[in-house]
Structure 1
């Protein structure tokens, strides 16, 4: 296997989800695996598109094809299809900050569209929010400006999953979220904030498993094109996060 390439097992899991596969509507692409490996290489190494090794072909063609997949929702469908095969025993939520490179600034805000970049103490940043399952596999993802509070994405992401137990840190200790979890029959494992009058009791043996999502973010940020945001458009960067999350979640 080439450096940063797909394993045969990973390729087998995703090949039937890709456009251009044999029997799919339209032309048949002979290089789906090569294209996926080109995109994976770019995000793993964090290089500009024009520095893509020659073995992957014309970098402009690779970039153009990736944009078509992003705009057509191909990457999101791949992620959601693979994410649907998750373990519902318990899940956990958290977020991580990524620095936005200066090249990611300046996108046109069509119709006031938010490109999920904002100013915080760390400068220009974006925040990746994720819910992962017991195996550390991403089940739901979203992207916001870096200064956005973690709790704002909890309910929208929770609508995409149905765990038996939901684990989070104190940043998610809010009555509306706790009530929603209890209404759905989901056990919250969220430590109480210091200012809560009647602290809830939680199972710390379960809470300790929150390290699983920390390890997920560590794996995600091994991809330098994710650890630093270079994309101007929110849709493109979110697709990049979905793409990498899908790949590292496939055995």
Structure 2
């Protein structure tokens, strides 16, 4: 049970940030902590919502409330609050691909909304693009279909990067989309040059060794089985779950 629950010190750090708390605008929730732990349980165990243990109450109520908070940006704001303590000496950018379960397909496309599910030879998949700080703690995410290039993550995440330097692998060795914007912002790029570059760039090989920290973060993220395999139909809910799991990493 403990690995699916929050310690008292962890709960104290976030309870004042959530809707439904006593004294907050709107209805006071009966038990915010039980609800957050129910969501953590679902994503950590990788079970369908309807299989939540009875101690968490109505699974449908938990799912509905989770979706409402996802739509309202609650989970993202929670992560942003915790990530305000990020070490901005440098940041690391990379991506990981997760399989999308067959039940994740088929969401209604309202107004042409894309659900960040791609179809390739290996089946349905989603790519999670992540930006982490100098200590390997998560600060930002973007989702695309699994077949998308890593540079899609650079387009989404680099404009808001607060760090003074970026560490990334050679997939991000792109002048117009990465190197030039970083140089214009006065930020350093620790990115190995591609083999087909006519003029090789130099980079800090010693600092580049720190890039394993983002791989370590992906390993932590995939301990949540419903993130290692995507079951959510909507990109909004899946991204909200990633924000919650990332916030939990900050609390460990």
Task: Give the TM-score category using the shorter length.
Answer: over 0.9
- Where do 1:71-220 residues align within 5 Å? 71-176=71-176, 177-220=178-221
- Moved >6 Å (runs of 4+): none
Q: Unaligned stretches of 5+ in structure 2?
A: none
- Mapped to 2, the partners of 1:64 and 1:175 lie a distance apart of 44
CA contact (8 A) 1:92 1:131 kept: yes
Confirm whether residue 11 of structure 1 aligns to residue 20 of structure 2. Answer: no
The two structures, once aligned, show a CA RMSD in angstroms of 1.2
CA contact (8 A) 2:93 2:130 kept: yes
CA contact (8 A) 1:140 1:160 kept: no
TM-score (norm 2): 0.96
Counterpart for residue 230 of structure 1: 231
- Mapped to 1, the partners of 2:183 and 2:244 lie a distance apart of 32
- Mapped to 1, the partners of 2:215 and 2:54 lie a distance apart of 35
Q: How many residues align?
A: 251
CA contact (8 A) 2:116 2:143 kept: yes
1:102-128: CA deviation from partner (whole Å, max 9, x where unpaired):
000111211111110011232100000
TM-score (norm 1): 0.97
Counterpart for residue 2 of structure 1: 2
1:177-221: CA deviation from partner (whole Å, max 9, x where unpaired):
101111111110000000001111111111110000000000000
Question: Alpha-carbon deviation of 1:85?
Answer: 2.2
1:124-174: CA deviation from partner (whole Å, max 9, x where unpaired):
000000000122111110100000100122032012222111000010000
- Mapped to 1, the partners of 2:38 and 2:117 lie a distance apart of 26
CA contact (8 A) 2:89 2:165 kept: yes
1:204–1:121 distance in 2 versus 1, CA, 3 Å: farther
More off after superposition, 43-52 vs 77-86: 77-86
